[in-house]
Amino acid sequence: MATITLSSSFDFTQPQDWDWVISDSSPTFITITDGVHEQTFTGSFTFGANDSVSGTATGSTYSVNGNLVYTITGMSKSAATLADFATTLGDTQATYAYVLSGNDTFIGSDGDDVLLGYAGNDVFDGGDGADTLRGGVGNDTYTVDGADTVIEEAGEGIDLIRSSQDYQLGANLENLTLIGSGNIEGKGNSLANVITGNSGNNKLDGVGGADTLIGGAGDDQYVVDLTSSNALEDKIVELAGEGIDTLTLTSIYSNTRLTTLTLAANLENLDARDTGSLKLNLTGNAANNIIQGNDADNTIDGGLGADTLAGGLGNDTYLVDNAGDLIEEDVGEGDDTVRVGIATAGGVYTLGANLEKAILTSTVAFDLTGNDLANTLTGNGAANRIDGGAGADLMIGGAGNDTYVVDDIGDSITDSAGIDTVETSLNYTLADKPTLENIRLTGNQSSIATGNALANVLDGSQSSASNLLFGGKGNDTYIIGSGDGIVEGLNEGTDLVQATVSYSLGSYLENLTLIGSDNIDGTGNELKNIITGNQGNNVLDGGSAVDSLIGGAGDDTYVVDLLAKGGGSSATVALEDSITEKVGEGTDSLKLRADGLFGFSGLAALTLGANLENLDATRHRHPGPST
């Protein structure tokens, strides 16, 4: 196991068969020379008759014109054999082959060296200069720089290149290890290579063959081919905590089958942009992945983690299961769909730019919002709020009680179940939409909401404008704000008005409920009304007919007609309306109105009902006495 250290440039392959003679010797050294070239062997020697020599040579130096060329240490060779090669056979190459037949180490000079390893598992370090390194038979190791050339023939062992610069394996070289800490690249050849990175950010590419790529502490990139069976051609070894690493796929085989690939553990990113038109199903892992597809129709699932997904030109499908997932699509890159499977209820998913479709795949209540394109948004079986955004959108609901936001006259809705609401600032009708129930008007422009034959809820209170609400034949509910009007026809159901302002029931409206906490009033019409107050101080007046007046927490006033019962001196009076007031619900007053006592001349006797505090009969006008 000799070590050869060069002090100046030398070429081991050049002929060196000079006429050697022994110029000096001792029991510890032998020097041979031709006058220019001088070789000294050190060791333990015994000299016999006829210039014979025996013993063991353990080292050697070689000089030219007195200048040291190389030093050999660690050798253990027969002195007699060396003497035969040098003085009798005159074959220097045979001498080198004999001396360097073991597992030797070559250390080059600062110049351009040619190092030849002969047999054995040799180690080469050419040093500076443009060196040529040839290991020969054996499993050799080369430490190279960018100017070095390594020559190996087929069948000459399993050889390793060590490089601190970008390097690609030449022919018949098997393995490559990047050394140092620089951000460098390592490429293989057509053999089954083992390529190992250093502590920097490396790009490792096995090229052809079933390679093993081993990263390190840096942010590494692995370039791997897809085989004809759509599997990875190479094996990747990456440990936890060793940087942010990327698997870059290439496709060197003509293949049209769908490829399914899941990113292995400890790899963060997947880049398939160079795989041509191969259709891909790409899935990430538990890390925060970046996954890039190709120009075909890809399905990309980031898996757990907050992932960044980019499809490309095809009609891509993205699976999103984390609110932190981000999708990147450019203009004109296909008709793309996002399948949203976020399992936490109450969130909102908004389509990013240049995405066309979204589908909720979870079972929880979740909302969808579109973008500026003509989107198709599909809900799930829970209660969804679906807002297409700008553009003529198609919104598809499910079994839940869904809300659809309509902001374009081209928006359309498909729904078959649940109690559903359209939210819009436009004129909108449910007449041709038999599966939709409610309309909520928004914005600051006057709008018209038209119901259908179902029991509709038409809400104008969320709009700051004056709106017009048309109910239809069902038992409708109208929620109104200031300035809103209601149109209801004869025999079109039993309808309820919920008012945030003082309101008098119009024709064909049956019931009125005051909402909020403002001090507002409610007035009935000629029908039998149910009028209900809010939390404020209300004046409730049923108008004509037998009405039900229901107060609340405030100090309410009930305006009620007195009606005559019977005739003559036995006639009595009674309240036309019924009053419901609970204990502790304010200081309430009953105000009597005698419009129904025309011609009454008897005693008008009346007892104040429970939970009413005050009685006002100043509007009671009839000719008879009262108690």
For the cut 80, the answer to whether the pLDDT of residue 568 exceeds it is no
For the cut 60, the answer to whether the pLDDT of residue 379 exceeds it is yes
Report pTM.
Answer: 0.84
Q: What are the tens digits of pLDDT across the range 248-272?
A: 998 766 565 678 899 999 999 999 9
> What is the pLDDT confidence band of residue 435, given thresholds at 50, 70 and 90?
very high
> What is the pLDDT confidence band of residue 622, given thresholds at 50, 70 and 90?
very low
CA distances 362 to 31, 277, 387, 402, Å, are 88, 31, 18, 15
Q: What are the tens digits of pLDDT across the range 406-415?
A: 999 999 999 9
Please, which contacts does 260-269 make with residues 24 or more away whose CB atoms are closer than 8 Å?
Answer: 260/230, 261/232, 262/303, 263/289, 263/291, 263/303, 264/236, 264/238, 265/240, 266/238, 266/239, 266/240, 266/242, 267/222, 267/236, 267/238, 268/244, 269/244, 269/245
Give SS3 for 116: strand
Rounded Cα–Cα distance for residues 27 and 44 (Å):
6
For the cut 80, the answer to whether the pLDDT of residue 131 exceeds it is yes
Burial letters 81-101, b for 16+ CB under 10 A, else e: ebbbbbeeeebbbebbebbbb
E-strand ranges in 148-245 read 149-151, 160-163, 167-168, 175-178, 185-187, 194-196, 203-205, 212-214, 221-226, 235-237
Q: Could you write out the three-class secondary structure of 556-601?
A: CEEEEEEEEECCHHHCEEEECCEEECCCCCCCCEEEEECCCCCCCC
What is the structure's pLDDT at 53?
92
For the cut 50, the answer to whether the pLDDT of residue 119 exceeds it is yes
Rounded Cα–Cα distance for residues 261 and 46 (Å):
71
For the cut 50, the answer to whether the pLDDT of residue 23 exceeds it is yes
> What is the pLDDT confidence band of residue 596, given thresholds at 50, 70 and 90?
low
> What is the pLDDT confidence band of residue 574, given thresholds at 50, 70 and 90?
confident
Rounded Cα–Cα distance for residues 596 and 538 (Å):
23
Average pLDDT taken over every residue of the chain: 92
Rounded Cα–Cα distance for residues 558 and 561 (Å):
10
Structural tokens at position 550: 């229901």
Per-residue DSSP letter, 113: -
Rounded Cα–Cα distance for residues 290 and 394 (Å):
30
For the cut 50, the answer to whether the pLDDT of residue 625 exceeds it is no
Whether 504 contacts 523, CB under 8 Å: yes
For the cut 90, the answer to whether the pLDDT of residue 597 exceeds it is no
* Percent of the chain at pLDDT exceeding 90: 79
3-state helix, strand, coil in the chain (%, to 5): 5, 40, 60
Structural tokens at position 587: 């200081």
> What is the pLDDT confidence band of residue 421, given thresholds at 50, 70 and 90?
very high
For the cut 60, the answer to whether the pLDDT of residue 295 exceeds it is yes
Least confident of 20-34, 300-314, 507-521: 20-34
For the cut 70, the answer to whether the pLDDT of residue 336 exceeds it is yes
* Percent of the chain at pLDDT exceeding 70: 94
Least confident of 2-6, 241-245, 573-577: 573-577
> What is the pLDDT confidence band of residue 603, given thresholds at 50, 70 and 90?
low
For the cut 90, the answer to whether the pLDDT of residue 620 exceeds it is no
Structural tokens at position 464: 């700051």
For the cut 50, the answer to whether the pLDDT of residue 617 exceeds it is yes
Least confident of 167-171, 224-228, 469-473: 224-228
Q: What is the mean pLDDT of residues 139-146?
A: 94
Rounded Cα–Cα distance for residues 574 and 558 (Å):
15
For the cut 80, the answer to whether the pLDDT of residue 600 exceeds it is no
Q: What are the tens digits of pLDDT across the range 65-102?
A: 999 999 999 999 999 988 887 665 556 788 888 888 89
